[in-house]
Amino acid sequence: MVENRLRCFGHAKRRVDHMEESQIKRVKGRPKNTIRETIRKDLEINELDRNMVYDKTLWRNLIHVADPT
């Protein structure tokens, strides 16, 4: 799932260089994770920089997770 999220992120990042921060009011209770927060954590865990997405070959190699079978 991480590889799929990061692949999608790379695609979107290459198309849109600057995303506007939207102000979303949250309801009471536990805050829900946004895709932005999940991607940020995935990038941190895998020690990736968001600017690496511009080199498609490098990005593909960095986010590839070995086949578990």
pLDDT digits 0-9 by tens, 4-22: 888 888 777 767 654 444 4
pLDDT given for residue 9 in this prediction: 80
How confident is the prediction for the chain on average, in pLDDT? 76
Q: What is the pTM of this model?
A: 0.54
Question: What is the C-alpha separation between 69 and 66, in angstroms, rounded?
Answer: 9
> Mean pLDDT, to the nearest integer, of 53-66?
84
Tokens of 46: 């895998």
Question: What is the C-alpha separation between 30 and 36, in angstroms, rounded?
Answer: 17
Pair 62, 2: CB distance under 8 Å: no
**Matching residue, tokens 């921060």:** 21
Question: What is the C-alpha separation between 61 and 10, in angstroms, rounded?
Answer: 12
